[in-house]
Structure 1
């Protein structure tokens, strides 16, 4: 890894979902994740877009093909993949389900990372 690349964390549910994808979708996601690690918050459309309808200003979506991965950049110069899915034929419905789930997972992630930081500071 190059020093200026962004670290990407993946919640277990997203990792499991990615592992079950067809080869073409899996390849597109790997390429998109490489671009995300290189570009960080500077990466924009068409691969990354901002999410509306959320209270999280840092909630974004990775857009490789018809699949979507909701993610956020965190205070530790990392990103966390929170929800993945294929919104084909479910454009609006998918977001109504995925955004609240991403928000909940991000809160849990922040709590876990803060605890890890505190434990590391004490050692």
Structure 2
């Protein structure tokens, strides 16, 4: 049985009351396997319950939305050149992290992504990749269209001034990118 059909049958059953209903949570998991007659006899109450296995549902505003979205990943020329110069193990680990970023987008957080402070770019972030005890960092930002722009990458262990240098270069590259839009 399609979830929308289930929602419609419950909605038509309680169309006129307009109040919240409490439905046992365990019955929601296997609702698609039940017949229409069985679903009609499911425990639906109009009073509030303090038990944890109950959910309050407002039938008139119940919507199920499945959002499967992969974010677009764009790379600067500098990023592509840097990536080409790496060994295969590092490339593989970095590409796995980029795929994770592509799947989760702005929702991805630590330990994969961290926000950079001290930059003129408000939402400058770093993709954190460790490959054979080498701490690679890829600086990126989400543009106004919510695309991830991989600006530049580097090995954090190579310089004490890694972050100031990378922040400056990232700001320059992002300004160029915005100018090209």
Question: What's 2:126 paired with?
Answer: 61
Higher alpha-carbon Rg: 2
Give TM-score scaled by structure 2 length.
0.59
Structure 2 equivalent of residue 50 of structure 1: 115
The CA RMSD measured in Å over matched residues stands at: 1.5
For structure 2, the 5+ residue unaligned runs are 1-67
Task: Say how many residue pairs are matched.
Answer: 111
Which one scores higher on RCO, CA 8 angstroms, separation ≥ 6?
1
Q: Which residue of 2 aligns with 1:117?
A: none
Aligned partner (choices 76, 80, 86) of residue 21 of structure 1: 86
The answer (yes or no) to whether the contact 2:82–2:152 under 8 Å persists in 1 is no
> Which runs of 5 or more structure 1 residues have no equivalent in the other structure?
114-123
Decide which structure has greater helix share.
1
Distance 1:64 1:104 in 2: 23
Partners in 1 of 2:122 and 2:146 — Cα distance?
16
CA distance in 2, matches of 1:104, 1:17: 16
Are 1:100 and 2:140 an aligned pair? Answer: no
Q: Give the 3-state SS of the residue equivalent to 2:170 in structure 1.
A: helix
TM-score (norm 1): 0.85
Q: Cα distance, 1:18 vs. partner? A: 0.6
Q: Which residue does 1:80 correspond to in 2?
A: 149
Match of 2:43 in 1: none
Aligned to 1:32: 97
Residues 151 and 170 in structure 2, CA contact (< 8 A), matched pair in contact too? yes
Name the SS of the counterpart of 2:157 in structure 1: coil
